[in-house]
Structure formats: structure tokens, C-alpha cells
A and B are shown apart, each in its own frame.
Chain A
Amino acid sequence: MPISRRNLFKAGIAAGTALSIPSVLRAQTMPTAARTVRMVKEDLRVFDPIWTATNITADHGMAIYDTLFALDSKFKPQPQMVGKWGVSDDKKTYTFELRDGLGWHDGTPVTAADCVASIRRWGQVAPGGQLLMEQARDISKKDDKTFTIALKEPLGLLIDILADLTPPCLFIMREKDASLSATEQVSTRIGSGPFKFNEALLRPGASYTYDRNEQYVPRKEAPDGFAGGKVVKVDRVVWDNISDQQTAFAALQAGEIEFLQHPPVDFFSVIESDPNLELPVLDRTGKDMLLRLNFLQKPFDNVKARQAMLHLIDQEAFMRVMVPDPKYVTTVTSIFGDETLVSNDENTGWYKKGGDPEKARQLFKEAGYAGEKVVILQSTDWAASNNGSQFLAAELRKIGVNAELAPSDWGGLTTRRANKGPVENGGWNMFITSEADYSLGNLLATPLLLANGDKAWYGWPKNDEYEALRAKWASVETLEERKALARKMQGIWWDFVGDVRLGKYIEPIAHRKTITGLIGMPQIVPMWNMQKTSA
């Protein structure tokens, strides 16, 4: 085939841009506005998705890193970076082989050693990873593309654990990054994912830019959840940080941005009536709001007082305060979340409706409550906690409980909640928090369902009977058995009242109609497959 000079010239440019011109220049000249998507999410404060467990950093991780396995839209794990894998007959040794074409953004190939180091680092902090590290006899590379995990005992959930999407997720990093301790931040942003992080355009606190990774070789399968081929259909995605919701919404209406992850609830009707905008739900599983009670201090060291809270809380009213649009709110009574595989209704009938102040007042009395101060930690920079805590205090005062709000920003709250002492010494009695509904269905992903006293999450619930059941969780073989176990655990949990649920919120996102192909999954918004049409 004769090569025309023009084609040769073009080829030269292509090669040149790929090899010699620094990525800075290329990034600044290539993408046009028509192939750039501007999104407003939260502020990406931290870049290392293992060091921090926030959703926004997991979003960033999902863009620039790749994963060994990935959940499809039915939450079943599918191989992503892994090409072939197998398990030995005694179910104790897993062998994984990486698929072809995987390369780091710096041009070097992804190796099995990278994967082993990444698993070890993630295993220091992720609850599922910690379990894996306990059970593992050996994790090592066999050759450049193969590694094995050898277990002491069979672990039926191994692949589910590797694929889990609750942050911190198992993102594969270069060996030299992953050899840092999990409590030390990785300072480079080089992954093998479908997007490259544009360092030159980084404006911490203001904007973060992702360019399509031209070298990325997607799987052949169609995209399905986080599984399947990650085909990037835009040149560039920019995350603008607009902290003011009103401004962000105005920018969306004006077309300055195309995607708004947290549209203000009071503007839902405006969005729905705007011909240029859509308000779809990407995360159908939603978020549960919870109230943590301090088991170590009066009055909630007494189970009667904790039961009183279950009777007092009217989830509908609470959710109306925290998330004012009833269309996106449901009540939730299962400790395993509202819509997970192990959600159930065991032992919920007795308080189900809530909103019974008289019963609550009586139970507080039976608990021997005598007007002691009840301190509610209130986070003033998180609207749901700010408003919900005020409502909680008002409801408690109505039944004669001496509720006192302790307002601070979330940063201040994190310090105070670690104090196990009495309120006179800077301790606390309750605070509102949230957890993804999806994560509550997976005991290996959330620390909120522990009841081992001092080692449990803030509030330090303690119940030995419950803990004995929980120990069996990982070794249960079938889903049916796990469901039965979950029912038993929930029965006990609601007897000793490990925490109190306030309701579930499904948050829609807002985007302009020019954006199509968004993939709906819990926790993380993937940016591949997304397309931008002209106007």
C-alpha cells in the first residue's frame, strides 16, 4: 500500500504525541469543549483511595486505577484485570493470571508483583482485606502475569471480597506505590485505568482533570456495572469543585457544567420541569442514616433507654428534616440495610412505626433516667446531621430528656466521638452518621455492625451472643445459610439495640440531556461509557 506523504505526516504526529511531546502540552491542546464533560461532585481532597475511605476518592480511584475483579449490575463479581483464574481442589489455593494489554500510565506493563503489593497494602485497612490477610498463608507472584493466594482454610467469599465496592476498594497500584504503608499517602497518581490524571491542570480545591487513556485496552464484553469493557467515549472529564449548592445548580442550568452529583433537594421539581435537565437515580441502593448511641455511658448503657430511642424515632419525620423530598426516602428497619441480599424483618414488629413519645418517656423512666445531660454531637458542616440533630434534641426535650447539642464541624466531631468518658469529661451520648445501604449487607465491608465492645465502632456496642454468630459469617457457604444467620443476628441486635435507624435516602443526580450512557452503581460513578452529544 502506497503511503501518501500526508498520511506519513499524520502518523508521525500521532507517534510524536504519544511518545515525545510531554503529556502536559498534549493535554492542553487536544480535547475540545465538545468532547469535554464538566462534572461537579464533592471536593476531592485526598488522592489515595486506600489511605482514605471516602466515596469521592473511590470515584477518582475508579477513573485512574483498574481492579482485579469488578461487580456487575447484579453485584456478581466478574474478572476485570484478571484474564483467567482458578481454584485448587481443596479450595485453598487461588491462581490468577492477568489479561493482556495492561499497562501503567507511565508506559510500563502491569505485573503480578504490582497486584501482590496492592493486595497487601489494601489488606491493612479494608475490613474484608484484613480478614483475607488473617486467612492467607501466602500471597505471591508466580511469574510476571501470574500470582496465587494460598489460604489456611477455604474462604468462599474470597472473590466477593476482592471485588467489593465499599471504599477502600482494591485498586491496583504500582509496586513502588503499594509498598508504602496504608497509613501513608501515595503521592503519585499513576494507575492503569481508563483515565489518566492530568497533573498540569490540577488545582487542588478547585478543579481536577482526567484525560482519556489512549493506551487502555478494554475488555471485549459489553459494560455491565463496573464489569465489562471500560470504553471511554469522551476526551476529557473535569471535576469542578463548587462548594455552594446554589452556584453549582445555576452552573448546571446555564450549561457551564453537565453533571451535578448532589443536586439540592428543594430544586428537584425545578430540575424535573427543565427541558434540558434530567434527574435520574444512579445509586438505587441509597444511604442509610443511623444514630449511634454510646453504650459506655449513662443513660444509654441501659438497654431500656436504647429501646426508648427506637420507640421515639419517627423515621418519616426525621427523614423529612434531613431530606425533604418524600419521593426519595423510605423507612428502614433491617440492620442489614433495606435492599441487600440479607435484609429481613426479624424482630422489628414491636417498634416498627416509632413515633411513640409516651412509650419512650416510660422506658427512659424504667431505665432510671433522672434528668442527666444527654449530649448530641452535631456536625454543622453536614446538613443532614446539622438539621437532624436539632430535630432530635427538640423531640427528646418534649419527653423530658435534658438534651444538649454539641455543635462543631465534622473535624471537631471526629475528635470528640473517640472520647469514651462521661459527658462531663468531654464524652458524648449520641451522633448521627450514614452508611451505604449496600455496604450494610456485607459484614466484611462495614465496621458499623460490630458488637465487640471496645473494638467496635464509635458507640462501642457489646453483645457476646451476637459476636459469636458474627464469627461464622465468613465461613458460611450458601446464600440461604447466610440469610438465616442474618435473621438470627438481627433478632439479637434489636434486642440489645446496637444502634437506631433513621431512614434511607436514595439520591438522584442531575445532568444535562446532552450526557448519555451513565452507568448506575452504588457508591461510585464510573465515567467510562459516558457520551456527550451536541446540544
Chain B
Amino acid sequence: MAAYILRRLVSTVAVMAIVGIFIFLLLRLAPGDPAAIIAGRSATEEIIAGIREQLGLNDPMPVQFLRWVRDMLGGDFGTSIFAGRPVLELISQRLEPTLSLSILTMILAVTVGVSFGILAAWRTGGIVDRLLAAFSALGYSVPVFVSGYFLIYFFAIRTHWLPVQGYVPIDSGLGPWFVHLILPTVALSLAYIAFIARVTRASMLEVLSEDYMRTAAAKGASSYAMLFHHALKNAGVPILTVIGISFAYLIGGVVLTETVFNIPGIGRLVVDAINNRDYPIIQSVLILTSGLYVLVNLTIDLAYTLIDPRIRY
């Protein structure tokens, strides 16, 4: 067990090292020069060259890489080339909108998705199951920027029920904050609802077909007790896994959603940074998101071995 955990940790470090080298190389090999962007549209070449030198972009790549790794291990994620502020500070400023959107999305996706999954598993092949299957197929297939614009058109532009776009910080009032997040949350949740509903249904069916469930049914357990007491409890592990992975994966959808609804979150930060070639921001966001993903995965794997003694590695 301890050996397994150790091995898992080592491989996690290896993965992160690979990711780090990969991200660094990717960015430095890409053409595009932050110095030229800083200098402005009609700047001359000498001025641009001067700025490049000052930013340390002329140093050899290994030097830049080692400097980056050293600083990062010391908790210093660098300074934005443009804003001249620490990257961590910029990220923390953008964290609130992204977290708000992510958390609301997960709440909606989990409650609706799990309920749909249970409903569908309750009467397999029934009308409810079929309707939910159709909904889930659709939810799975509509990209967030398509559903987003449909929602905006019908619920904001035509009816004026909800704001078109934008974000209001939570300390400016819970009401406006929530109202601005309704459409983005719904748009982003669709795919996750579909996903979680599917997994829930599949795991529930798996459990329901186990022998002990048949026994319970034969003994006359109510269908309520069957579903919630026995089945859901046992189906919980895969469902939790999926929720964990979804959360770690949310950032991709967040990039698009923040663009559609103009939410000043991490997604916008990194897309703008890529346009500006603001390397420290791009590197840090990529390394942090992939770190989060790896961490979630690690936690899930370790939790597995603790929860379910049958799992051996």
C-alpha cells in the first residue's frame, strides 16, 4: 500500500516535469514577440530589440527554463510582462468569477445529473428513460457557445428577463451576482448534466443487477429504499470519480463560456495572455490547471484504494 502510494507520487512528479518542459518549449518555439506588441503598432525595429533585451527574452532557452523552474519551486510564478504585476496576484484577482461559475455549474450539474440518472435507472427503457436519453444526447452535442447564444437571444435580447452578459462581483450583492451567472451556468452545465446523468444511470444499473440487489428486491424492499439506500450508495464511487474529473476538466469549457458571456475570469486571462505572448501568465495557468487535474486524479486513485479494498494495484 505505502509502496503503491509512493510509486504514484513519484509518477505524479514525473508527469508534472514532463508537462513543464512541454509547455515551456511550446511557448518559446511559437513565433510572436511580446516586445513588438508592447512597443505599439508603428514602432521601429531598434526599439523593439531594446525592449526584448530588457525582458530577458534574448537569454538562451535553457537559462530561461531553469530560471522559471527555480522561481516556481520558490513559489514565485513570475511577473506579467505587460501588467508588471505578479502572475499569482493576477490569477487570484480572476479566480472569483471562474470559481463562481465553476461551483454553480457543478452544483447544478450534480443535482440535476444525478437525479436524471436515478430516474432513468428506475424504469429502464421506459418513457422517462428514453426522454432523458434524448436530452442527454442533445446536451452532450451542443457546444457551450451555441447554447450560450441561444440562451442570450431568447432570455436576454428578446425577453429582457436576464442580463445579456457580464459579471458582477459577489460583494456588490448576491442578487445581481446570481442573476448574471444564471445563463452562463445553464449553458455550461448542459454537457455535464448529460455526462453525469449517463454515468449515474450506468452505475446504478450495474449495481441493481448485482445479486444482492435481486435478493433485496425479492425480499420486498421498497423501490425507494432500493434506489437510494442500496444502489446509490454503491454507485457512489464511480459517480464521485466523474464529478472530480469533471471539475478538474471544467477549465476548458470555462474559457469558451467566459468568452461568450464576457466574464473576466481565468479563461479570459489566459486567452488574452496568449494573444499578447505574456509567457509568465500562460505558463503559470497551464501548469496550475494541469497540476489541479493531476492532483484530483491522484486523490481519486488513493481514495479508491481506501474506500474499496477490492481494488489492488
Instruction: Show the binding face of A for B, using Cβ within 8 Å.
Output: 43, 45-47, 51-54, 125, 167, 181-185, 187, 202-206, 241-244, 246-247, 250-251, 256, 381, 408-412, 414-416, 418, 433-435, 446-448, 457
User: Whose C-beta in chain B lies nearest to the C-beta of A187?
Assistant: B84
| Contact stretch, chosen from B114-122, B199-207, B245-253, B269-277 | B269-277
Residues on B with C-beta less than 8 A from A184 are 54
Of A167, A204, A416, the contact of B85 (CB 8 Å cutoff): A204
Please give the distance in Å from B94's CB to the nearest CB on chain A. 8
Please give the distance in Å from A254's CB to the nearest CB on chain B. 8
**Contact call B41/A246, Cβ cutoff below 8 A:** no
Q: Does B71 contact A (CB under 8 A)?
A: no
Please give the distance in Å from B4's CB to the nearest CB on chain A. 43
Q: Which of B86-140 contact A (CB under 8 A)?
A: 90, 93-94
Known contacts A412-B32, A414-B32; is-contact A447 B44 (Cβ 8 Å)? yes
> What is the interface of chain A mostly: helix, strand, loop, or mixed?
loop
Per-residue interface assignment for chain B, residues 74 to 87, with 1 indicating a CB less than 8 Å from any chain A CB and 0 otherwise: 00000010111100
Q: Does B59 contact A (CB under 8 A)?
A: no
A46 to B84, CA, bound (A): 8
For the complex with contacts A53-B42, A250-B166, 4 further pairs of A-B residues with Cβ separation under 8 Å are A52-B40, A205-B269, A241-B264, A411-B34
Residues on A with C-beta less than 8 A from B36 are 411, 414-415, 418
User: Whose C-beta in chain A lies nearest to the C-beta of B83?
Assistant: A204
Please give the distance in Å from B255's CB to the nearest CB on chain A. 13
**Contact call A205/B42, Cβ cutoff below 8 A:** no
Q: Which of B130-177 contact A (CB under 8 A)?
A: 164-166
Please give the distance in Å from B167's CB to the nearest CB on chain A. 9
**Contact call A204/B93, Cβ cutoff below 8 A:** yes
Residues on A with C-beta less than 8 A from B40 are 52-54, 167
A418 to B166, CA, bound (A): 38
Of A183, A206, A243, A411, the contact of B51 (CB 8 Å cutoff): A183
Per-residue interface assignment for chain B, residues 14 to 48, with 1 indicating a CB less than 8 Å from any chain A CB and 0 otherwise: 00000000000000000111101111111111011
**Contact call A181/B82, Cβ cutoff below 8 A:** no
Please give the distance in Å from A346's CB to the nearest CB on chain B. 24
Per-residue interface assignment for chain B, residues 212 to 249, with 1 indicating a CB less than 8 Å from any chain A CB and 0 otherwise: 00000000000000000000000000000000000000
A205 to B84, CA, bound (A): 12
Residues on B with C-beta less than 8 A from A244 are 165, 259, 262
**Contact call A185/B90, Cβ cutoff below 8 A:** no
**Contact call A250/B165, Cβ cutoff below 8 A:** yes
**Contact call B165/A418, Cβ cutoff below 8 A:** no
Q: Does B268 contact A (CB under 8 A)?
A: yes
Instruction: Show the binding face of B for A, using Cβ within 8 Å.
Output: 31-34, 36-45, 47-48, 50-51, 53-54, 80, 82-85, 90, 93-94, 164-166, 259, 262, 264, 268-269, 272, 275-277
**Contact call A183/B33, Cβ cutoff below 8 A:** no
**Contact call B32/A415, Cβ cutoff below 8 A:** yes
**Contact call B93/A206, Cβ cutoff below 8 A:** yes
A206 to B91, CA, bound (A): 12
Known contacts A53-B40, A246-B165, A435-B42; is-contact A412 B93 (Cβ 8 Å)? no
Please give the distance in Å from B202's CB to the nearest CB on chain A. 39
**Contact call A411/B41, Cβ cutoff below 8 A:** no
**Contact call A247/B93, Cβ cutoff below 8 A:** no
Known contacts A187-B84, A206-B264; is-contact A412 B31 (Cβ 8 Å)? yes
Of B37, B47, B166, the contact of A251 (CB 8 Å cutoff): B166
Of A183, A242, A251, the contact of B53 (CB 8 Å cutoff): A183
Residues on A with C-beta less than 8 A from B50 are 181-183
Please give the distance in Å from B145's CB to the nearest CB on chain A. 12
Please give the distance in Å from B109's CB to the nearest CB on chain A. 25
**Contact call A51/B31, Cβ cutoff below 8 A:** no
Query: Which of A185, A202, A408, A435 is most buried by chain B, counting CB atoms within 10 A of its CB?
Result: A185
A381 to B41, CA, bound (A): 13
**Contact call B42/A250, Cβ cutoff below 8 A:** no
A184 to B264, CA, bound (A): 28
**Contact call B277/A411, Cβ cutoff below 8 A:** yes
**Contact call B31/A205, Cβ cutoff below 8 A:** no
Of B44, B164, B269, B276, the contact of A457 (CB 8 Å cutoff): B44
A45 to B48, CA, bound (A): 16
Please give the distance in Å from A182's CB to the nearest CB on chain B. 7
Residues on B with C-beta less than 8 A from A446 are 42
Please give the distance in Å from B3's CB to the nearest CB on chain A. 46
Residues on A with C-beta less than 8 A from B268 are 205, 243
User: Whose C-beta in chain B lies nearest to the C-beta of A243?
Assistant: B262
A412 to B90, CA, bound (A): 24
**Contact call A247/B37, Cβ cutoff below 8 A:** no
A404 to B50, CA, bound (A): 32
Known contacts A53-B39, A183-B47, A457-B42; is-contact A247 B262 (Cβ 8 Å)? yes
Of B37, B42, B80, the contact of A410 (CB 8 Å cutoff): B37
A183 to B40, CA, bound (A): 13
**Contact call A433/B41, Cβ cutoff below 8 A:** yes
Q: Which 6 A-B pairs have the closest CB atoms?
A: A183-B50, A414-B36, A53-B40, A204-B83, A411-B32, A415-B31
Residues on A with C-beta less than 8 A from B42 are 53, 433, 435, 446-448, 457
A251 to B264, CA, bound (A): 15
A408 to B42, CA, bound (A): 18
Please give the distance in Å from A438's CB to the nearest CB on chain B. 13
User: Whose C-beta in chain B lies nearest to the C-beta of A58?
Assistant: B40
Please give the distance in Å from A181's CB to the nearest CB on chain B. 7
**Contact call A183/B277, Cβ cutoff below 8 A:** no
Known contacts A45-B83, A167-B40, A244-B165; is-contact A409 B31 (Cβ 8 Å)? no
User: Whose C-beta in chain B lies nearest to the C-beta of A418?
Assistant: B45
Could you jot down 11 A-B contacts, CB within 8 Å?
A125-B47, A181-B50, A183-B50, A203-B264, A204-B85, A205-B264, A242-B166, A243-B272, A244-B259, A246-B164, A418-B48
A43 to B34, CA, bound (A): 15
**Contact call A250/B38, Cβ cutoff below 8 A:** no
A434 to B80, CA, bound (A): 27
Of B45, B93, B259, B276, the contact of A45 (CB 8 Å cutoff): B276
Please give the distance in Å from B280's CB to the nearest CB on chain A. 13
**Contact call B83/A411, Cβ cutoff below 8 A:** no
A182 to B164, CA, bound (A): 43
A105 to B83, CA, bound (A): 21
A181 to B50, CA, bound (A): 9
Residues on B with C-beta less than 8 A from A203 are 93, 264
